[in-house]
Structure 1
Amino acid sequence: MKKILVHICCGVDAVYALRKIKEEYPDAYIEGYFYDPNIHPEEEYILRWIETERVCNDLGIKCYLAPYEIEKWLTAVKGLENEPERGKRCSVCHDLRLEKTAEFARENRFDAITTVLMMSPKKDFQVLKEIGESIARKYDLQFLSIDFRKNGGIEKMNRLSKEAQLYHQNYCGCMYALFQQREGEYIKELVSYGKGRLPGSREELLFIKQIRAFAESLGLPCKEEGFNFVNWRVIHSILKINKQEIPHSVLWFSRSVKGILRAKVKNLMYEDDKKVALLNKYNCKIWILNQTLKDIPLEMPRVFTEPILIVGSDYRDLIDIDTKVEIRLKTEFDENGRSQNLIIGNPEAVHTLEYYSDTLPDGKEGYSFINIKGAILENLDRIRRGEIKVVIYGAKTAGNLGKMYMKKAFINI
């Protein structure tokens, strides 16, 4: 029996390619090997691994996760940063991945290796074939050159990927390729948000995928319902009061301030949980909380986008009528924001356990994987019987958008 090790770069490329390999080698023993040292950031690596593991589990194929080795890749491609797509940098990248795969294959007594990179229309098939055959000879292995794209392979891959609701990445993982494609632009794909899982972020999606993978490992049916929304983020912000720089946060959907706003407090209003300072320019406000500084989630989407900056109670006595204020604020609205709800169990179940996938930037106002895992295990029998479902809503802190979408309770905003 031929023993084949398949290098895998992502679930999307693997979902059809693995089926094709099983079809062409029905008597072979097949395992997967996930290794992509070019992927940045690490959260992206983990996200693609989770989806790869889902695909392999569905096909009954064991898959190994190789270490994340971005520094090794950076060293290997040094000097090739400006190479075009399919250029020398890509060849070095293929070398790294297939060399690591071949090393693992020889150590574990495989007979042959191949790669699902041959699925991607963005990769040069002939280059991959030559590199694969050269490395395979070095390790006394056979390299299987399979043109997965033939006979409608791309269309079959897209169909299977959609049916499985796989995460479909929009870049190969290489930061240098993204730099070239989006010269001078802010590249959100390369940003990690630390402790928080912001609405529409990779971290929020990764959280959903981790929960889905766990639920499916218990044999529970899962369904994702994606939805688009106007997303928002702070690019940079500075708040000075009487020339003193003040720690602060910015309320969701605050618009940018052009240049530097120099203003004075013209009025003060007092509410139960805060003092509100209205400035004499730009319809701008400062919320002074009755507690230490924290981010504020939205209960409903904001209709008005005047800039609102938030400070803690430490600075309550510093702000009064005619206090001088200086603000620099750059924010960005993204009409292509996307989040998703996850339904675990029978969608028609009468009873629902509700959770949320996003958090505030500091990681607060949210649930942990352990919270939701515990709830699933505690109610496992009832979920299996269809009495109860678990729903994880997306984009809560941006105004409960996931729950609104689920209930179809749209408002004109």
Structure 2
Amino acid sequence: MLVHICCSVDSHFFLQKLQHDYPNEKLTGFFYDPNIHPYSEYQLRLLDVKRSCKKLGIELLEGEYDFEAWMEAVRGLQNEPEKGKRCEVCFDKRFERSAQKALELGEKSFTTTLLVSPLKSQEQLKRSGDIFFQKHGIEFIAYDYRTNGGTQEQSRVTKEEQLYRQDYCGCIYGLTIQREQQHRLMDEMFSPLANQILPSSIQERLDMYTYRNELEEKNIAYKIIKEKFLNYRQFSHKIVSAKTEIIPSYALFYSTLPRKKAEGKVEFLHNNIGYFNREEIMFVTLEFFNSTCNFKYKSVNELLFNPPSVDEELKFRTILTDTHYNLSPIIIVEKIPQTKLTIELNAKIYEDTREKLIII
């Protein structure tokens, strides 16, 4: 039997149940989910599914990540709610490819781990599956492992196996609607040009779960926990002089302006810090930044495209301000400007939760 797989949270429990109920059935996993966005999230879910299938002794095949074709298929359905028409089209596309893969492998039936997801309509899935049975002759088996405490059991398995538990279905449209309803920043879509790994980003989780797999290969015990913290995302930043010249600059992590813009000038210098006369802004030179942190940046532009880690930025902030609680804008420049400036800084600080791996 071919089993279409959407994520490890659904698949691990679902596959365990199939192995128990059908011990003589050879199961082949098929990860085909071009709806998952962004691609780093796709990589993360695939990474965890590979681990899960390996633990269960199930062969896993990966389908094509034809995201553009998926986008075309759901064109015009962007505002459909969860379990609406967009989801139905999404199921149809994934079932079509799963049925084709089952035919290629000589299988007579297929199913999907989506059936166990409480966010999905089983009736909707069954309708899509029945269409492909009539079209291809591949029987769709609709197992119901949600009832009789199945959802609670699935949650237990997820926790015990320390699976990656995503908090959105996968597609950009569902994510957009969900974050708007939650009044939350859609920070999953942030991907800095400089490739700096941001706290609670998909890339941070991808690195952590990759490290988790390495620890398991070495039989090193670990635990994945969650912690609350103050997160930060910077949308844009620019400094313009009185002569309308853009001054190359870099704003450190946690730098914000309440009105996103400030006009004024550096009032005085003290201990290598230039103090602006508005919004508690501080300026430091790249030379001072290099000497304090033992960096070797040749220009601010180099810093922009190859920044240090967030932890290193926070260490410098603490050295400069002698506190862990300082949120003033700290801006790095080649030399302290002595002219009137217009500083634009669009950024947000917000409460967030992230996963953390500890070795035990």
TM, length-normalised to structure 1? 0.75
Seen in structure 2, the aligned counterparts of structure 1 residues 136 and 214 have a Cα distance that, compared at 3 Å, is farther
Q: Which residue of structure 1 lines up, in the alignment, with residue 161 of structure 2?
A: 164
Q: Which residue of structure 1 lines up, in the alignment, with residue 34 of structure 2?
A: 37
Amino acid at match of 1:193: P
Q: Do structure 1's residue 115 and structure 2's residue 100 form an aligned pair?
A: no
The 5-angstrom pairing of residues 3-402 of structure 1 reads 4-183=1-180, 186-194=185-193, 195-217=195-217, 219-242=219-242, 243-270=244-271, 275-290=272-287, 291=297, 292-293=299-300, 294=303, 295=307, 297-299=313-315, 302-311=324-333, 313=334, 316=335, 319-320=337-338, 323-343=339-359, 347=360
Q: In the TM superposition, what is the alpha-carbon distance from 1:225 to its structure 2 partner?
A: 3.5
Single out whichever of 38-47 and 233-242 deviates more from structure 2: 233-242
Q: Secondary structure at the match of 1:20?
A: helix
Q: Report the Cα distance in structure 1 between the residues aligned to 2:164 and 2:129, rounded to whole angstroms.
A: 27
Q: In the TM superposition, what is the alpha-carbon distance from 1:7 to its structure 2 partner?
A: 0.4
Amino acid at match of 1:319: P
Q: 2:256·2:329 contact (CA, 8 Å) conserved in 1?
A: yes
Amino acid at match of 1:340: K
Q: 2:222·2:357 contact (CA, 8 Å) conserved in 1?
A: no
List per-residue Cα deviations over 1:160-182 (Å, max 9, x = no partner): 11112212111111211233334
Amino acid at match of 1:134: I
List per-residue Cα deviations over 1:37-63 (Å, max 9, x = no partner): 111100000101111111111111111
Amino acid at match of 2:93: L
Q: 1:50·1:213 contact (CA, 8 Å) conserved in 2?
A: no
Q: Report the Cα distance in structure 1 between the residues aligned to 2:245 and 2:66, rounded to whole angstroms.
A: 43
Q: Secondary structure at the match of 2:72?
A: helix
Seen in structure 2, the aligned counterparts of structure 1 residues 181 and 249 have a Cα distance that, compared at 3 Å, is same
Q: Report the Cα distance in structure 2 between the residues aligned to 1:327 and 1:22, rounded to whole angstroms.
A: 61
Q: Report the Cα distance in structure 2 between the residues aligned to 1:8 and 1:119, rounded to whole angstroms.
A: 11
Q: Report the Cα distance in structure 2 between the residues aligned to 1:342 and 1:99, rounded to whole angstroms.
A: 42
Q: Report the Cα distance in structure 1 between the residues aligned to 2:35 and 2:355, rounded to whole angstroms.
A: 26
Q: 1:250·1:308 contact (CA, 8 Å) conserved in 2?
A: yes
**CA RMSD after TM alignment:** 2.0
Alignment coverage as a number of residue pairs: 331
Amino acid at match of 2:354: R
Amino acid at match of 2:314: L
Amino acid at match of 1:152: G
Structure with the higher fraction of residues in helix conformation: 2
Q: Secondary structure at the match of 1:244?
A: coil
Q: 1:8·1:117 contact (CA, 8 Å) conserved in 2?
A: yes
Single out whichever of 285-294 and 56-65 deviates more from structure 2: 285-294
Seen in structure 2, the aligned counterparts of structure 1 residues 67 and 151 have a Cα distance that, compared at 3 Å, is same
Amino acid at match of 1:13: D
Q: Which residue of structure 2 lines up, in the alignment, with residue 395 of structure 1?
A: none
Seen in structure 2, the aligned counterparts of structure 1 residues 279 and 191 have a Cα distance that, compared at 3 Å, is closer
Seen in structure 2, the aligned counterparts of structure 1 residues 218 and 32 have a Cα distance that, compared at 3 Å, is farther
List per-residue Cα deviations over 1:55-114 (Å, max 9, x = no partner): 111111111121211101101011222222211111110011111111111101122100
Structure 1 unmatched runs, 5+ = 348-413
Single out whichever of 147-156 and 195-204 deviates more from structure 2: 195-204
Seen in structure 2, the aligned counterparts of structure 1 residues 233 and 117 have a Cα distance that, compared at 3 Å, is same
Q: Report the Cα distance in structure 2 between the residues aligned to 1:173 and 1:16, rounded to whole angstroms.
A: 19
Q: Report the Cα distance in structure 1 between the residues aligned to 2:165 and 2:192, rounded to whole angstroms.
A: 20
Q: Report the Cα distance in structure 2 between the residues aligned to 1:75 and 1:339, rounded to whole angstroms.
A: 34
Q: Report the Cα distance in structure 2 between the residues aligned to 1:85 and 1:259, rounded to whole angstroms.
A: 35
Amino acid at match of 2:140: F
Q: 1:113·1:141 contact (CA, 8 Å) conserved in 2?
A: yes
Q: In the TM superposition, what is the alpha-carbon distance from 1:118 to its structure 2 partner?
A: 0.5
